[in-house]
Amino acid sequence: MESLKYDIDEIVITPRKLERRVNDLAAEMATGLQSDNLVVIGVLRGSFIFLADMVRWFYMNDMHPRIDFMIMESYAGTVSQGEPAVSRDFTVDVAGADVVLVDDILDTGRTLTKATAHVVAKGAKTVRTCVLLDKPSRRLVPCEADYKGFVIEDFFVVGYGLDYNGRHRELPHIAKVRFADGAQNDDASA
Ligand code: XMP
């Protein structure tokens, strides 16, 4: 999809707030997730910074998971192309493991639902889900994350791993994408 004219000058979540919340989330998980067979699976590409920061806090909380990644694709620009599919699978053996699935954002719920079913089918003992951001107003399939960083309203965001057409992942904060023509995240039911 062609890029529309847009600005990303509005910071929604600062680096400091991200750091504090990710630290808190890891501590929360350390209390509820005592396992000697813990596997963390990041859903790429958006989760890479969130996951990297979070597992360093895991270390501080004496949690020592195996870590792998999978790629699921369904978005072009801000537009969901429908049913997400696994385009690169993880290779770690999750049979009998306690898995934490980490994604950047929970939007329609399709990606996390599909990813969870995928991990369950591979024999995980338990699957918990963790997202940095949650946009509950956009849900199309019933799906709740076990751990979530921030609840946000219905606008498209970039930064801290999240992209618009492959760009802006490197921002240390979360910024709102403001489209010149007022067009927004209008793909919800597309
Ligand atoms: P679903 O709709 O399956 O979507 O819950 C999860 C995936 O949608 C992408 N997504 C976004 N990416 N800014 C982004 O950079 C957003 O505001 C946004 N909303 C949804 C993202 O890839 C996520 O994993």
Neighbours of 60 (CB within 10 A): 12
**Residue 187 clears pLDDT 70, i.e. is over it:** no
State the distance from the centre of ligand 1 to the C-alpha of 62, rounded, in angstroms. Answer: 31
**Residue 101 clears pLDDT 90, i.e. is over it:** yes
State the distance from the centre of ligand 1 to the C-alpha of 158, rounded, in angstroms. Answer: 10
CB 107 within 8 A of CB 138: yes
Q: What residues line ligand 1, using a CB cutoff of 6 Å?
A: 46, 75, 80, 84, 103-112, 156-158, 162-163
pLDDT digits (tens, 9 = 90+) for 132-166: 999 999 999 999 999 999 999 999 999 999 999 99
Q: pTM here?
A: 0.92
Q: Which residues belong to the active site?
A: 107
Neighbours of 117 (CB within 10 A): 11
Place of tokens 């696994």: 86
Nearest Cα residue to atom 19 of ligand 1:
107
Rounded mean pLDDT of 109-126? Answer: 97
CB 111 within 8 A of CB 72: yes
pLDDT value of residue 32: 87
State the distance from the centre of ligand 1 to the C-alpha of 139, rounded, in angstroms. Answer: 11
**Residue 28 clears pLDDT 90, i.e. is over it:** yes
pLDDT digits (tens, 9 = 90+) for 66-95: 999 999 987 666 666 678 999 999 999 999
Query: 3-state SS of 137-171?
Result: HHCCCCCCCCEEEEECCCCCEEECCECECCECCCC
Distance (Å, whole) CA 51 – CA 36: 19
What six digits make up the tokens of 133? 């951001």
Q: Kindly report the CA angle at 168 between 166 and 171, in degrees rounded to 5?
A: 150
Nearest Cα residue to atom 22 of ligand 1:
46
pLDDT digits (tens, 9 = 90+) for 43-74: 999 999 999 999 999 999 999 999 999 999 87
Neighbours of 47 (CB within 10 A): 26
